[in-house]
Amino acid sequence: MTPEVLVVSGLSKRFGSGPGAVQANDAIDLSVSAGQVVCLLGHNGAGKSTLVGQVVGLTVPDAGTVLLGGIDAVAHPAAARALASVQAQANVPITGLTPRTAIELVGRVRGLRKPAARTRADELLQALDLITWADKPAEKVSGGVARLTAFAMAAIAPGALVVLDEPTNDVDPVRRWLLWQEIRRIADDGKGVLLVTHNIHEAEHVVDQVVLLDEGRVVTHGTPAQFVASHPGDTLEDVYIHLVGHQDARGSATAAAA
């Protein structure tokens, strides 16, 4: 049996009190096994980032458990974080460094010896077509290159669980395709991947399981094929729009009015 690297049970988190309180997560159950890419889908405000924060020990849940590599991430967040590699939604500030140096430094921090860190960094730079920018100051690279650098920093010496929060933001179509290949390769090498993305059409070809969140709850979960077979629509994106598309439309209208 493939080991589960992440098990989330009954996870709940509420912000505020009284009429204005927000139930960000409501009794969420999910798991990620070694070798598996699990995709979190949901509109803005569905509870994805709050869930990720609790998985990596940055946010304390009100109820429920998070086991990361068998370690209670709520009781022992530092120990659990040591088993996770994270690409946050916001890019890591690497001012004063080059992409190559930033990637190698993370590899060294995560235990690689200098030659191994250099070799692995070069492999990622080649795989993501970043060699042209590898040795340029971070202040002079594009947002897409910075985003790919952040991914490589998470991928150079991946933990048992790799958490990727919107890894394709600002990335051009060609390098997005390369990035999806690397995400799949991480899982094929035996790591678990928890992926948050809005690039539903592209992710459909890479992920093994999809967990759909709406208003902090798990609406449904399964393989992309199961989603399409069980709901109206020809693609995963069609199903997503059918199930929670009204929320995205409302969010867009609110943003436009702000």
| Band of pLDDT at residue 43, cut at 50, 70 and 90 | confident
What values do phi and psi take at 170, rounded to 5?
A: 70, 0
pLDDT in tens, 54-95: 998 889 999 999 999 999 999 998 988 889 999 988 877 888
- What size, in residues, is the chain? 258
Whole-number pLDDT of residue 245: 67
DSSP conformation letters of 123-187: HHHHHTT-GGGTTS-GGGS-HHHHHHHHHHHHHSS--SEEEEESTTTT--HHHHHHHHHHHHHHH
Spatial separation of the C-alpha atoms in residues 243 and 74, rounded to whole Å: 32
Whole-number pLDDT of residue 246: 54
Listed in sequence order, the residues at least 6 apart from 126 whose beta carbon sits closer than 8 Å to its beta carbon are: none
| Band of pLDDT at residue 257, cut at 50, 70 and 90 | very low
Whole-number pLDDT of residue 250: 39
pLDDT in tens, 111-159: 999 999 999 999 999 999 999 999 999 999 999 999 999 999 999 999 9
More confident of the two residues 250 and 65: 65
- Domain spans of the chain, in order of start: 1-82+162-167+194-247, 84-158
DSSP state of 91: P
129, 148, 191, 201, 216 from 174: Cα distances, Å: 9, 12, 25, 15, 33
Q: What residue has token string 């939604």?
A: 89
pLDDT exceeds cutoff 60 at 198: yes
The percent of residues above 90 in pLDDT, for the chain, comes to 66
pTM of the model: 0.90
The percent of residues above 70 in pLDDT, for the chain, comes to 94
The topology (CATH level 3) of 1-82+162-167+194-247 is Rossmann fold (3.40.50)
pLDDT exceeds cutoff 80 at 254: no
Q: What residue has token string 């139930």?
A: 23
Q: Which of 184-193, 198-207, 230-239 has the lowest mean pLDDT?
A: 230-239
Listed in sequence order, the residues at least 6 apart from 189 whose beta carbon sits closer than 8 Å to its beta carbon are: 158
39, 71, 195, 197 from 128: Cα distances, Å: 21, 33, 18, 18
Which is it for the CA torsion 224, 182, 188, 56, positive or negative? negative
Q: Which of 39-43, 223-227, 239-243 has the lowest mean pLDDT?
A: 239-243
